[in-house]
């Protein structure tokens, strides 16, 4: 694939994802604040979870981006359900044992199991190395987890959690391990949170939750690496999700500007509107290229450039999407503020991607660090 042009099969995947997103938009709108198992089963039946979790285990960052971008063009709720099937399961795909993969990944692929990625805590968001969830040794072959997690997508309804806890005495990023914790484990509880944009997310409380050593993902004390491997794969696709929303916002604004007349002519004839749409389109196209380039760097194993490109892709695409949606609302005016208008929904949805999986400020820190170390891609 040319680094700035999608191959035919990639364009087909993007179109397929968009079509499925459109078909499932109404189903996705049901119960948006909790896990929608009917929607996830439908995503599996449509074949998107097969692309998300290939049978051969060779996950493609570019395919993930195309899936998220395409579905997001039609339904942010369906996109979120799709993405969370990947985020919660990828630690097992990338770092888990064969036994864990064989037990859980087919069920996730078939829409029969709901995973969740449990990293964030109230006091450990951007500073993920400051985790307080404790994993104390329990005999010769197990651990007991005590503490809390917050803002966990699919909590408290997930069937299992890939949970990160401090299992070793080392400080900071050292000493963190990753565990698969089943959703019905004794001592595990949680509550749903209500966000500005309805989304299945909640808190978790671990009260002396027993986890056998066989359910550790990766090596003891190397859980932070498991988390970063997963996020390196996933981060460009957050930008792709944002691009899908930005494209929809731009198209809604463009169609409105062609039809809406003021002072005897379409408002698209006014430079204030046409230039805003022009800038929007240029930024969206630039964001696409950056996201695809970052995903391609991951897929070809270019670790030297991946960190910089993934941070840049997520930062730029999510900021572009925020501007695009805000600009589209401005072009449509008050009608876009009606609660059930598609732009009102996008306006609620577009804010969160600038925060989760590394805030815009954290991405700038990463980029500045890479620049300082001379690792910025040429």
Give pLDDT, residue 168: 82
The answer to whether residue 170 scores a pLDDT higher than 80 is no
The pLDDT of 274-300, averaged and rounded, is 97
Question: Could you give the CA distance from residue 129 to residue 131 in angstroms, rounded to a whole number?
Answer: 6
**If pLDDT is split at 50, 70 and 90, which confidence band does 288 have?**
very high
Q: Which residues of 233-247 are buried (b: 16+ CB within 10 A; e: fewer)?
A: bbbbbbbbbbbbbbb
The pLDDT of 3-10, averaged and rounded, is 79
Q: What CATH architecture is 115-221? A: Beta Barrel (2.40)
Find out whether 70 and 244 touch, Cβ atoms under 8 Å.
yes
Nearest alpha carbon to residue 76 among 263, 242, 258, 304: 242
The pLDDT of 148-157, averaged and rounded, is 96
What are 137's strand-pairing partners? 143
Helix 342-349 × helix 76-95 angle, to 10° = 30
**If pLDDT is split at 50, 70 and 90, which confidence band does 4 have?**
low
pLDDT in tens, 42-90: 999 999 999 999 999 889 999 999 999 999 999 999 999 999 999 999 9
pLDDT in tens, 231-242: 999 999 999 999
The answer to whether residue 264 scores a pLDDT higher than 90 is yes
**Averaged pLDDT score across all residues of the chain:** 94
pLDDT in tens, 350-372: 999 999 999 999 999 999 999 99
> What percentage of the chain reaches a pLDDT higher than 70?
99
Each domain of the chain, given as residue ranges in start order, spans: 8-109, 115-221, 224-372
The pLDDT of 25-29, averaged and rounded, is 94
The pLDDT of 275-286, averaged and rounded, is 98
pLDDT in tens, 89-130: 999 999 999 999 999 999 999 999 999 999 999 988 888 788
The answer to whether residue 192 scores a pLDDT higher than 60 is yes
In the chain, DSSP finds a helix count (H) and a strand count (E) of: 12, 10
Q: Which residues are catalytic?
A: 357
The answer to whether residue 347 scores a pLDDT higher than 50 is yes
**If pLDDT is split at 50, 70 and 90, which confidence band does 1 have?**
very low
Instruction: Specify the CATH number for 224-372; select among 3.40.190.10, 2.40.40.20, 3.40.50.980, 1.20.140.10.
Output: 1.20.140.10
Backbone angles phi, psi at 107, to 5 degrees: -65, -35
DSSP string, 77-145: HHHHHHHHHHHHHHHHHHH--HHHHHHHHHHHHTT---EEEE--BTTBSS-GGG---EEEE-TTSEEEE
**If pLDDT is split at 50, 70 and 90, which confidence band does 173 have?**
confident
Question: Could you give the CA distance from residue 182 to residue 180 in angstroms, rounded to a whole number?
Answer: 6
The answer to whether residue 32 scores a pLDDT higher than 90 is no
The pLDDT of 244-259, averaged and rounded, is 98
What are 288's strand-pairing partners? none
Of 33-37, 46-50, 154-158, 257-261, least confident by mean pLDDT is 33-37
Give pLDDT, residue 2: 41
Domain topology for 8-109: Butyryl-Coa Dehydrogenase, subunit A; domain 1 (1.10.540)
Decide: helix, strand or coil at residue 36: coil
């Amino acid at each position: 694939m040319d680094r700035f042009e999608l191959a035919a099969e990639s364009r087909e995947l993007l179109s397929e994802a968009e079509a499925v997103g459109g078909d499932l938009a109404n189903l996705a709108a049901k119960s948006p604040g909790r896990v929608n198992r009917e929607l996830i089963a439908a995503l599996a039946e449509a074949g998107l979870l097969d692309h998300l979790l290939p049978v051969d285990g060779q996950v493609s960052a570019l395919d993930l981006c195309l899936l998220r971008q395409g579905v997001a063009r039609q339904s942010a709720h369906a996109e979120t359900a799709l993405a969370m099937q990947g985020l919660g399961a990828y630690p097992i795909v990338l770092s888990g044992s064969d036994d864990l993969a064989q037990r859980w990944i087919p069920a996730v692929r078939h829409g029969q199991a709901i995973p969740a990625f449990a990293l964030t805590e109230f006091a450990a968001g951007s500073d993920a190395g400051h985790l307080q969830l404790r994993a104390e040794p329990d005999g010769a072959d197990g651990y007991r987890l005590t503490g809390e997690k917050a803002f966990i997508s699919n909590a408290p309804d997930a069937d299992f959690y890939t949970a990160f806890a401090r299992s070793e005495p080392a400080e900071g990023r050292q000493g963190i391990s990753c565990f698969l914790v089943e959703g019905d484990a004794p001592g595990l509880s949680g509550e749903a949170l209500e966000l500005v944009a309805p989304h299945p997310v909640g808190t978790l409380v671990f009260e002396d939750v027993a986890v056998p050593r066989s359910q550790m993902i990766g090596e003891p004390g190397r859980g932070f690496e498991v988390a970063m491997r997963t996020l390196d794969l996933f981060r460009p696709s957050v930008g792709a999700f944002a691009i899908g929303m930005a494209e929809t916002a731009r198209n809604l604004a463009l169609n409105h500007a062609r039809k809406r007349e003021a002072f005897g002519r379409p408002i698209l004839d006014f430079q204030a509107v046409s230039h805003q749409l022009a800038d929007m389109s240029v930024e969206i196209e630039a964001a696409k290229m950056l996201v695809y380039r970052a995903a391609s760097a991951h897929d070809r194993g270019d670790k030297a450039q991946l960190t910089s490109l993934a941070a840049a892709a997520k930062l730029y695409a999510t900021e572009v999407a925020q501007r695009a949606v805000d600009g589209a609302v401005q072009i449509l005016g008050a009608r876009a503020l009606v609660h059930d208008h598609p732009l009102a929904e996008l306006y609620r949805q577009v804010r969160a991607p600038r925060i989760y999986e590394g805030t815009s400020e954290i991405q700038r820190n990463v980029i500045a660090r890479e620049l300082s170390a001379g690792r910025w891609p040429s």
